[in-house]
Every structure is written in C-alpha cells, then in structure tokens.
C-alpha cells in the first residue's frame, strides 16, 4: 500500500538514509527540513517524481499544518539530537524537540499514523544489573533524553502511533555524523590511531542507520499489529562496552590503541544493556552487523576529514 508520508528533518543523518528507501517502496514522500548543516544529502532522490522538499522549520505552524493535512503518515525526525547539541542551545532544543512536536500532535487527526524516533538513552543506568526492557524504569540524565521521554509519553496518547527507542546509531549516511560513538571511535582510529577511554566498562547498545530505516519501513508495513506500543531497536549481539567496541575496531585497524584515562570521567554516564526481544517478536531483526558497519565507516572516512560532519 502506498502512503503520502511527511518526514520532518528528512535531510538529516537518519532521514537521508530512510527517505530513499520510502521512495523505493512506492510511497510519496515530502521532506520538511531547514538544512541547518548546509547539506545536500537528498540530491540523489530529486529525480523521483514522488519526492517533494520544503525548506522550512518545524516550528513554523503556518508551514507545518498544510503539509500535515496532506499526510497519511508522519515521521518526525527533525530534532536537536544528542546531549552536547542540546547543551549548546537549550532553548532551540526545547522548542524543536518538545514544543514543535506537541504542536504537531495537537493538530493530528485520529486516522493519521505517527512513527516516532525516541531514544534508549532514557534508561540512564538500567537496574542493578544495568538490564533494560521497555518496562524498565526510566532515568534520563540529559535534556535530550528528558524531553524525548516527555514527547514519547505524549505521542503514545495518539490513537495510531509507534515509538522506536533507538540504540546508539552508527554507519555511513549521506548526511554524515562523526560524533556518534561508533563513528567517532572509528574516525579516531583511522586518523589518530588512538582514543583515551573514560569508564571503558560502560555498556551501550548499537544499531546501524540502515536498520533504523528498515525498522520504520517494518512499522509501516505491520502498523496494525504494532501500533500503540514502544519498541527498543538495536543489535542484540551489540550490547558492548567501550573497551569491547575498541577491540572490534582494532580487528580492522590493528595499530589502533585505546589507553584508559587515569583521572576524570566521561560526561556521558549512560551504562545499560538493552533487550530488543519485543521488536524481534514482530518479525524484525537488524541485518547490518557492527563488524560490517565499522568496515563501511573505514571506507567512508577515507573520503571525509572534516569536523563539520558532527552536530556540534
């Protein structure tokens, strides 16, 4: 079935990978993005007659509302993503990550479908064993995670919504980010051959950007049985520590070293193991491994040496 899909922030790290997949599946896709990073990350789909693009900001209600009325499905990717960017501009972050989404929700019809990206960073540190399911207590420790959690609660009041709590995303994308952990460590391995580790035992879960695109496609295809639910989305075999991540990178860059810091701590104190069993029971399984993602990043970073590919 073909839908009219509105993707806000569709020119970003997730969207520039997801939008071509939506178009390939036969959907009509409108992207609203302010292109704040000066990217042309959707240039390769401009030939598609089912693709439309609007340069604007999701906080512009007079722009958003007419676009929303035409949409069967809304995927609100536009956000100030990550704790550092939110700390740099907390007011901008709140108005985009929270206020604009509340405005969107107030103007939805009950029939419109919403697939919302949220974050498993809301788990903070998990339980005494750092293990988290969708039912685990939430302990967000950053403005980004706190506001994403508030939005998730609001989204789940909508009659036709799914929330995907994404693991830390990695992999090459047309709108690249090198500040995400796997991407960052691989970039440092390629160019510096070392990284200093703080809290090397802290664990996180990871997911490839292409599998994020796949899970949204899966959510659209299986919406009736998945709606009204929250799902963790990550690689179940990639609940690994920073030290283990570096060891994976070292397998492909043997002279990469990663000494442990003797003093100080990481400002990001997240430490958890996440269960992805719930999404797997719906028939979805990631297909892009950490090993292959690192290999892709090494190839990609042969072409990229510029800090503008981060968010801050």
Phi, psi for 13 (deg, rounded to 5): -60, -50
Angle at alpha carbon of residue 270, lines to 268 and 275, rounded to 5°:
150
Residues 282/287/291/294 CA torsion (nearest 10 deg):
-100
Q: Is 270 exposed, middle or buried (0-12, 13-18, 19+ CB in 10 A)?
A: buried
Cβ atoms of 182 and 159 within 8 Å: the answer is: no
Residue 295's nearest CA partner among 230, 233, 229, 251 is 251
72-93 tens-digit pLDDT: 999 999 999 888 888 899 999 9
CA 4 to chain centre: 22
* pLDDT of the residue at 195: 97
13 — pLDDT class (breaks 50, 70, 90) = very high
Give domain limits for the chain. 4-170+207-233, 181-204+237-275+287-309
Give the Cβ contact number of residue 298 at 10 Å: 17
pLDDT value, residue 312: 57
Mean pLDDT, the chain, as a whole number? 93
Using alpha carbons, select from 117, 123, 126 the residue that is nearest to residue 151: 117
> What are phi and psi for residue 245, nearest 5 degrees?
-60, -45
For the beta carbon of residue 291, count every other beta carbon within 10 angstroms. 13
Mean pLDDT on 284-303: 97
Direct distance between the N- and C-terminal alpha carbons of the chain, in angstroms, rounded to an integer: 39
Q: What is the mean pLDDT of residues 40-57?
A: 97
Q: Identify whether the C-beta of residue 139 lies closer than 8 Å to the C-beta of residue 125.
A: yes
Reported pTM: 0.94
pLDDT at 37: 87
Q: Please give the pLDDT value at position 83.
A: 80
CATH among 3.90.190.20, 3.40.50.10490, 3.90.25.10, 1.10.3720.10 for 181-204+237-275+287-309: 3.90.25.10
Pairing of strands 168-170, 131-132: unpaired
Q: What is the mean pLDDT of residues 172-195?
A: 96
pLDDT of amino acid 122: 81
Which residues are CB-contacts of 135 (< 8 A; sequence separation ≥ 6)?
none
Dig out the tokens for 35 from the structure: 């292109």
**pLDDT of the residue at 271:** 87
Q: What is the mean pLDDT of residues 261-268?
A: 80
Q: The CATH number of 4-170+207-233 is which of 1.10.1740.10, 3.40.50.261, 3.90.1150.10, 3.40.50.720? A: 3.40.50.720
109-138 pLDDT tens trace: 999 999 999 988 888 765 567 889 999 888
Q: Residue 32 has what pLDDT?
A: 98
Q: DSSP characters for 17-62?
A: HHHHHHHHTT-EEEEEE--TT---TTGGGTT-TTEEEEE--TT-HH
Query: Bigger pLDDT: 84 or 108?
Result: 108
Angle (deg, nearest 10), helices 209-221 and 15-24: 40
Q: Does pLDDT of 66 surpass 70? A: yes
**Tokens 């498993």 found at:** 120
pLDDT at 278 over 60: yes
Residue 144, pLDDT score: 83
Average pLDDT over residues 218-232: 97
Task: Say what percent of the chain tops pLDDT 70.
Answer: 97
pLDDT at 194: 96
Find where tokens 């029939």 sit: 111
pLDDT the model gives residue 308: 67
Nearest to 115 by CA among 275, 8, 235: 8
């Amino acid at each position: 079935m073909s839908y009219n899909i509105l993707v806000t922030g569709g020119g970003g790290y997730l969207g520039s990978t997801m939008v071509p997949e939506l178009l390939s599946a036969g959907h009509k896709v409108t992207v609203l993005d302010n292109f704040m990073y000066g990217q042309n990350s959707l240039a390769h789909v401009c030939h598609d007659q089912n693709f439309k693009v609007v340069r604007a900001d999701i906080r512009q209600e007079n722009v958003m509302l007419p676009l929303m009325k035409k949409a069967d499905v809304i995927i609100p990717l536009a956000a100030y993503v990550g704790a550092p960017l939110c700390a740099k501009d907390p007011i901008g972050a709140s108005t985009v990550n929270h206020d604009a989404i509340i405005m969107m929700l107030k103007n939805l019809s009950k029939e419109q479908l919403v697939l919302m990206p949220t974050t498993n960073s809301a788990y903070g540190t998990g339980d005494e064993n750092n293990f988290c399911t969708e039912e685990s207590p939430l302990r967000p420790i950053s403005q980004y995670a706190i506001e994403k959690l508030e939005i998730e609660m609001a989204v789940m009041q909508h009659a036709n919504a799914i929330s995907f709590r994404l693991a830390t995303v990695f992999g090459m994308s047309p709108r690249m980010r090198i500040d995400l952990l796997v991407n960052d460590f691989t970039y440092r391995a390629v160019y510096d051959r070392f990284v200093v580790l703080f809290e090397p035992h802290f664990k996180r879960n990871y997911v490839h950007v292409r599998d994020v695109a796949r899970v949204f496609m899966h959510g659209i295809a299986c919406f009736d049985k998945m709606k009204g639910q929250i799902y963790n989305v990550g690689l179940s075999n990639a609940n690994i520590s920073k030290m283990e991540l570096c060891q994976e990178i070292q397998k492909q860059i043997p002279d990469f070293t990663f000494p442990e810091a003797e003093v100080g701590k990481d400002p990001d104190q997240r430490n958890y193991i996440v269960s992805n069993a719930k999404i797997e029971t719906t028939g979805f399984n990631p297909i892009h491994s950490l090993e292959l993602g690192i290999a892709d990043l090494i190839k990609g970073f042969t072409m990229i040496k510029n800090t503008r590919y981060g968010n801050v």
